[in-house]
Amino acid sequence: MTGKESRKTDESGLRLAVAAVLLGLRAGPGHVLAQFVGSVLVGAAPIAVAWLTKLVIDTLVAARPERLVTVVRLVVALSVVGIVAAVLPQLGRYLNEELNRRVQLIVQQRLYLAVERQPGLRRLEDPRFHDRLRLAEQSGRDGPSQVLQSIAGLTQSGVTLGGFVITLFALSPVITLTVVLAALPVFASEMSLSRRRAAVLWRIGPTERRAFFYTSLLTDLQAAKEIRLFGIGAYLRGRMLDELRTSNRFRRRLDLRVLRTQGTLALLSATVSGGGLLWAAAEARSGRLSVGDLTLFIAAVASTQGTLRGLVTSFIGMHQAILLFDHYQAVVRMPPDLPVPAPTRAVSPLSEGIELRGVWFRYSDDQPWILRDLNLRIPRGQAVGVVGRNGAGKSTLVKLLCRFYDPQRGSVLWDGVDIREFDPAELRTRLSVVFQDFMCYDMSAVENITIGDLTAAADRPRIQAAAQRAGAHEALLALPRGYETVLSRVFFDGDDRDGALLSGGQWQRVALARALLRETSDLLILDEPSSGLDAVAEHEIHTQLRAYRAGRTSLLISHRLGAIRDADRIVVLSAGRIVEEGTHDTLIAAGGGYAQMFTLQASGYQDSAGLAGEPPSLARPRTA
């Protein structure tokens, strides 16, 4: 069982930085190199400008006519430096954006591959994992370029700073030392702010997730009916705004801290430069500094301070990016949520049957047992029906057969082999399942069926045969674009033929067709396959399914007892245990819970319709 997501992993900052740089280099080595060279040049530009300006001023002050050519040369050199310094950052921005786009492709592919590699459902059930995934997407996409940009910024600032510190030191060692020392508190406070920023982002994760949930609920088509009927729009909006206010409170607190810290630091920096300026003016007045020296001094103090600030900003940007890049690394390196042995055992075609032996299962240690010492055999070629009240554990049983979870005790055996020895993906290719909460994909009708077996994509007769068996064929043919019609209005673009909406029962037939497309599967599982169907459709589909199932291994779950009465064996599940078991006839003869349930359904049907025949359902109706 996997634990809850914690904020930090144990990767060191250096390793994270290296990983981010490697990711950037993989996405665009040329872009990275060009940015690096560009930063050295841009870093050297202010020093060149300051020295060239000093030389121009000193030459002009000397006022010798023969020096005019020198002045022109210096001015031309100044212009060239200015042009280079202006153009290179633009080019750098373009390269950085392009690098970002390339990194994003790699990051999305790696992140979603990592999610896909999770064999079970536990990880996706952990809300903190979703927070981490969101931060991982953001930090994976921006992190490498931020780190690289910070390294470029550090290089640029380092070059500029080196030049100015030497210049300034030649003019006044004391002031140089003061300016440099004044940068230390800036560095320390920015580091602390950076850590706090990362912690706040993690802290407000659940709040922002809830705000997003309410926002999407307010525009969700399925939710719209109840929201309007119950008039809960304002209530949901209020809750969304409450969550946003909470997250704003945290962000505001952080912003205020930033304001306080940076305001104090700006004051310190202004005091230092003001003091320096006073000293330089006094020196110039007494003739110890030339006018050129004075301008050089002013430029050097301003640039040293600015560059130190830039240096700190770059370093902090890198620190912040690395702290968040931790989330990306954690996702791409997360271990599987179910143990998968290496090498796995090949899944052979089912020859004897599937067995749940002494299975105990609960969703987590602090929740009650859902299945308790369950023993169930599904022999090859037979149909086993499972019935039971709501919450008895029927769908949970299906999830264990698909190995979405492992039982805490006992095992699920495939021809006597524990399914934990198989590759879960391979095991699942041998199963056809209609889940109780099946998916309705906003895709075309044909895609909605083909998803059941992508190898059938080009085999239209096979797809139509599956639709026919599920009783969906006629309804799909009648759609505006037949099987090509998109079963959604999400992509509606003005043309009424762009999409169509199906009824709940029609969707159920499409989901059934999807499962039936897997003709070669060894086990067919139908969890409430007909709860949304009308009586005529249910009768037709069951007759067809009965013929289709003949000789196949199947597990049928239904609240409509008429739907499973012809199963080879029926088990009654209650509170995670099998309490009755036999054929329909033996169970009726035994006069237990099954017989009572059947009689209740049959009498209800007779009372309400005055007709004998299929009993009505005890299931909750599915919302369309």
Ligand X SMILES: Nc1ncnc2c1ncn2[C@@H]1O[C@H](COP(=O)(O)OP(=O)(O)OP(=O)(O)O)[C@@H](O)[C@H]1O
Q: Does 615 bind ligand X (CB under 6 A)?
A: no
418: phi then psi, degrees, rounded to nearest 5: -60, 125
* Closest to ligand X by CB, 219 or 367: 367
Locate 433 and state its tokens.
């399942």
- Minimum Å gap between C-beta 262 and ligand X is 47
- The span from the CA of 289 to the CA of 283, in Å, is 6
Return the beta strands (E) in 230-365 as ranges: 353-361
The region of 323-331, 344-352, 388-396, 459-467 touching ligand X under the rule CB under 6 A is: 388-396
- The span from the CA of 467 to the CA of 274, in Å, is 82
- Minimum Å gap between C-beta 125 and ligand X is 6
Q: Which helix (H) or strand (E) holds 433?
A: strand 431-434
- Minimum Å gap between C-beta 317 and ligand X is 41
- Minimum Å gap between C-beta 119 and ligand X is 16
The region of 34-42, 372-380, 394-402, 531-539 touching ligand X under the rule CB under 6 A is: 394-402
Q: Does 28 bind ligand X (CB under 6 A)?
A: no
Q: Which of residues 348-387 bind ligand X (CB under 6 A)?
A: 363, 367, 370
What is the 3-state secondary structure of 303-336? HHHHHHHHHHHHHHHHHHHHHHHHHHHHHHCCCC
- Minimum Å gap between C-beta 553 and ligand X is 20
Q: Does 436 bind ligand X (CB under 6 A)?
A: yes
Q: Does 467 bind ligand X (CB under 6 A)?
A: no
Identify the residue among 395, 429, 544, 599 touching ligand X (CB under 6 A).
Answer: 395
DSSP assignment string, 145-185 = HHHHHHHHHHHHHHHHHHHHHHHHHHH-HHHHHHHHHHHHH
Q: Does 2 bind ligand X (CB under 6 A)?
A: no
Q: What share of the chain is helix, strand, coil (3-state, %, to 5)?
A: 65, 10, 25
Count, residues near ligand X per rule CB under 6 A: 13
* Closest to ligand X by CB, 396 or 432: 396
Q: Are 432 and 525 in contact (CB under 8 A)?
A: yes
How buried is residue 144: exposed, middle or buried, by Cβ count under 10 Å (0-12/13-18/19+)?
buried
- The span from the CA of 549 to the CA of 521, in Å, is 12
- The span from the CA of 404 to the CA of 152, in Å, is 46
The region of 143-151, 252-260, 327-335, 393-401 touching ligand X under the rule CB under 6 A is: 393-401
DSSP 423: -
Identify the residue among 392, 401, 515, 516 touching ligand X (CB under 6 A).
Answer: 392
- Minimum Å gap between C-beta 121 and ligand X is 7
Instruction: Measure the N-to-C terminal CA separation of the chain; round to a whole number of Å.
Output: 35
Q: Which of residues 98-127 bind ligand X (CB under 6 A)?
A: 125
Q: Does 390 bind ligand X (CB under 6 A)?
A: yes
Beta bridge partner(s), residue 371: 361
Identify the residue among 92, 393, 505, 532 touching ligand X (CB under 6 A).
Answer: 393
Locate 493 and state its tokens.
């673009």
* Closest to ligand X by CB, 121 or 298: 121
* Closest to ligand X by CB, 1 or 22: 1
Identify the residue among 396, 464, 485, 506 touching ligand X (CB under 6 A).
Answer: 396
523-527 and 431-434 beta bridge pairing: parallel
Q: Does 441 bind ligand X (CB under 6 A)?
A: no
Q: Does 623 bind ligand X (CB under 6 A)?
A: no
Q: Interface residues with ligand X (CB under 6 A)?
A: 125, 363, 367, 370, 388, 390-396, 436
